[in-house]
Amino acid sequence: MGNKMSPSMFVLVYLILVLNGQSITTIVKARSNVHIVYLGEKPRDDPKLITGSHHDMLATVVGSKEMASGLMVYSYKHGFSGFAAKLTESQAQQLAELPGVVRVIPNSLHKLQTTRSWDFLGLSPQSPNNILHNSKMGDGVIIGVFDTGIWPESKSFGEDGLGPVPSRWKGVCISGDKFNATTNCNKKIIGARSYIDGFLAEYGQPLNTSGDREYLSPRDANGHGTHTASTAGGSFVGNVSFRGLATGTVRGGAPRARLAIYKVCWNILGGQCAAADMLKAFDDAIHDGVDVLSLSIGSSIPLFSEVDERDGIATGSFHAVARGITVVCGAANDGPSAYTVHNTAPWILTVAASTTDRAFPTPITLGNNKTLLGQALFTGKEIDFTGLVYPESTGLDSTAGRCQALSLDETRVAGNVVLCFTSMYMARQISLRSASTAVQEAGGVGLIVAKHPSDILTSCDAEFPCIEVDYEIGTQILFYIRSTGNPLVKLSPTKTIVGMPVSPKVAYFSSRGPSSIAPAILKPDITAPGANILAATTAFDRSMDGGYAMRSGTSMATPHISGIVALLKALHPNWSPAAIKSALFTTAWQTGPSGLPIFAEGSPQKLANPFDFGGGIANPNKAADPGMVYDMGTTDYINYLCAMAYNNSAISRLTGQSMVCPSKKPSILDVNLPSITIPSLRNSITITRTVTNVATSTSIYRAVIEPPFGIMISVKPNVLEFNSTVKKISFRVTISTTHKVNTGYYFGSLTWINGVHAVRSPLSVRTEVLQSNAADY
C-alpha cells in the first residue's frame, strides 16, 4: 500500500450505483503484483490438463511446481485459457516471452457503480396475454449476477412453486463465512461463488480492516447485489412498501428464472472489484451454463479499448457472447454530459436509466396559504405551521445557504424548517445528508432542498422531512421568506401517485452517448427504470424498511433488462445475443404512456434522443415479436475490431485465435447494428444492413423514412419480401446532406412496416465539412 502505482498498473472501475442517491468514487492506491497471463482461446483438452499446463508454465519461471502452486491465483480454463498469478515484474516479463503466451498484463481494480416498474413496462401478472405468462415467467432460464453477493434469507429468493434445478446446470454453491451452501441455496439460488484473491492481492490488507462489514463468502454485506438479483429474478412477495409508500407486490422481471450469484465485488472503500476476479467469474459462468449475465459494474473515463485486457468486462463478455450468453451492463452514472457512457463494446447490451410514471409529491404550504409541491419519502407526522429559515450570507461569506456548507444559528433553527440550495448534482446527494444532519443537530424539524430538476430522491430519517424542490420553487420560497418578518411553513406527508400526469424521463445521472471509443456505434442501447427502485436488500442496510430499500442508478436499470432478456430467452431459446438486443432496440418506446415524447433530465430538460436512451424505453411485449432482427455473430464483431484499425495481434489476443484483418479495412458504418450513426458526414455515403425475418414466413415490409433535418436518405430496395426460402435480405442506405457547415447531430428514423410490425432504427447524423474527427468513415 505504501508504494505508488503507475497509471498503467491501475484502473478504477466501479459498481454503477447511486446508493440512496450517493455516488462514491474512491481511488484505491495499491501496489499490484498479480498479473493475468492470457493464452487465448482454450484448447479442447480436459480442464484438469489445462490447469496442469498453467502450473507447468509458471513453474518454468518461478523454479518449481510447489512455488507455482503457491503463487497461482486463478486458472482460467473454460471460456478461454490463461491464469492469474503473483509475479514480480521480471517474472512477468519472462512469461511474456514464452511460446504460446499472448499477453501478460497487470491486474486492475474495478469499482461499484420494484412494485411499479414492471407494470410500467407492461408486465403485469394480472394480464394473461403478455410475455411474462407466455414465457412461463422465465422458468428454466438461468441469470448470472456479478455483484456484491446475495442475502439469501430475503423472501424474494423463496423457491415456492419452482421445479427441479435445470439438469444442464453445472455450477455449484460454495459455503463460507455466514453462508451455508446446503441451507442458503435452493431452487431459486442455484449457484453461489465468491472471488477475492485478485482483490486481496491489490488491497494488501486483511479483509475486514477497513471498518466496513464484509463476509468471505457469497453473502452480501453491501445490499447492492441483493437488490440487483431480486430485480432481475426475484420471486413474488406481496404487501411490500417503503415506509408505507409505493405499496404493492415486489418481484423480479423473470420471477421463475434461477439465479447464479458470482460475488466479484467487495464492500470495501465504496465497493471494489478486481479484473482477475471478474475474468475468473466469466470463465466459471461460461462453464456453469448461465443464459444471461447481469453486470452493474463499469469503468471510468477515459475508457480502455475493447482489445485492452485491463477492461476485464469487454474481454470476458466477448467470450461469453461468443457462446450465446447475453451480457447486460449499465451505462454508468456520469450523466447528463455527453460522451460519458461506459461498456461500449458492440457485443454488450448497454442500459441507460429512466424514471417511471410514479411520483412522491409532498405538499409545502407557506404562511401566505400558497401550496407548492416538492418530492420526498416523508411518512412521519405532519409538521404544522412553524418558522421557516434561510441562512443568509453576511460579509464575505457566500456559502451560508448552501446545503453542503450550512452555517446555522441554533437559536434561529430550533423548532423551525430550513431552506438551502445545492448546485452540483452528485454533490447534492452527499450535501443533502450533511444538511439534514446539521439541521437536526441544531434542533430543526425539517429541511427543504432546492436543486437541479431530477426525480431521484434521497431518504432521510422516517420522521424527519427532507423535501426536494427545483430552483424555481426554491426561489419562490426564498422570496416569500424575504418578503415577511415571520415566514411560516407546513410540511405534509408524502403521497404516492401513479400514471398520468407523471411522465417517464431519462434520469439525470444516466450516462449519455456518443461513445468516446467509437461514436458510430450507438450507445446506450436501451433504457429501463432505474430511479427509486424498490427491491430486496441486506439486514444491515440502514435505509431499508422490512428488508427492502429504494435505490437509484443504472445499476438498477441493468437487472430490469436482464430479467426481460431471460423472458425473451425462454420464448426464443435459439436467438443470439445480437438478435435479442435488436428485438429490444427496434421495438422500444420513444413516448410515455400519455403518448407524449420522452424527455431527458438535465439542465435544462430536453427531448430525449438516441444518445440519451438508445432505441428508447424497453417494451418487452413488442420485443417478443419484433418481426425482423439485425443479427450478428463473432465474425461481425471481428470485422468491427478490424474497422477500428486495431492491429492483428491485439484482435488475436481478444478473440484467442490468430486473426488477420482484410487488406481493405471494413467500414464501421456497415456493422450490422439496428441503428445508423454517422459522426462525420461530408459526401454522400452508402451503408449496408442485413435483416432476418423471425415472424411468419411470408411477409412484405416497406420502408418509412423520417430524415434528420437537412439530410437526404434513400433505401434500396425499399420493399423487402420474405418467404419460405428467403429469410435474410440486405439493403443499402444512401445518406447525403445539404448542409454546407459543420453541425451537431440531427436525428431521424428508418422504420420497416408490414401492417403488424414496425421495426424502427434511429438515424443520428452529424455533418463535418471541415473534418476534425480523425476517423475515416
SS3 annotation, 304-319: CCCCCCCCHHHHHHHH
Q: Amino acid identity, residue 676?
A: I
**What cell was used for 710?**
437537412
Q: At what angle do helices 312-322 and 634-643 cross, to 10 degrees?
A: 140
CB atoms < 10 A from the CB of 645, how many?
12
Q: Catalytic residue at 555?
A: yes
**What cell was used for 763?**
438515424
Distance spanning both ends of the chain, measured CA to CA: 46
Residues contacting 577, CB < 8 A, separation 6+: 321, 324, 325, 326, 327, 347, 349
With 0-12 / 13-18 / 19 or more C-beta atoms within 10 angstroms meaning exposed / middle / buried, residue 698 is exposed
Diameter of the chain measured on Cα atoms: 84
How big is the CA angle at 354 (ends 332 and 496), to the nearest 5 degrees?
A: 130
Given the residues 54, 78, 110, 224, the one annotated as active site: 224
Partners of 263 in the beta sheet?
Answer: 147, 194
Could you tell me if residue 161 is left (phi over 0), alpha (psi between -120 and 50 degrees) or otherwise beta?
Answer: left
Q: At what angle do helices 275-288 and 312-322 cross, to 10 degrees?
A: 10
The phi and psi torsions of 246 (rounded to 5 degrees) equal 60, 40
Residue length of the chain: 777
With 0-12 / 13-18 / 19 or more C-beta atoms within 10 angstroms meaning exposed / middle / buried, residue 690 is middle
Given the residues 154, 511, 555, 680, the one annotated as active site: 555
Q: Which residue has the cell 517474472?
A: 91
**CB-CB contact of 386 with 489 (8 Å):** yes
Q: Which residue has the cell 460519458?
A: 340
Q: Catalytic residue at 455?
A: no
- Alpha-helix residue ranges (DSSP H) falling in 552-678: 554-571, 577-586, 610-613, 620-623, 634-643, 648-655
d(CA 640, CA 85): 32
**CB-CB contact of 16 with 333 (8 Å):** yes
What is each CA distance from 236 to 15, 159, 259, 381, in whole angstroms? 26, 10, 14, 31
Radius of gyration of the chain (CA): 27
Residues contacting 758, CB < 8 A, separation 6+: 587, 627, 751, 752
What is each CA distance from 514 to 127, 296, 338, 342, 679, in whole angstroms? 37, 20, 6, 10, 9
DSSP code of residue 185: -
Could you tell me if residue 563 is left (phi over 0), alpha (psi between -120 and 50 degrees) or otherwise beta?
Answer: alpha
**What cell was used for 733?**
442506405
Given the residues 75, 81, 139, 147, the one annotated as active site: 147
Partners of 76 in the beta sheet?
Answer: 82
**CB-CB contact of 298 with 342 (8 Å):** yes
99: nearest Cα among 39, 34, 36: 39
Q: Catalytic residue at 224?
A: yes
Q: Which residue has the cell 432496440?
A: 585
**Residues identified as active-site:** 147, 224, 555
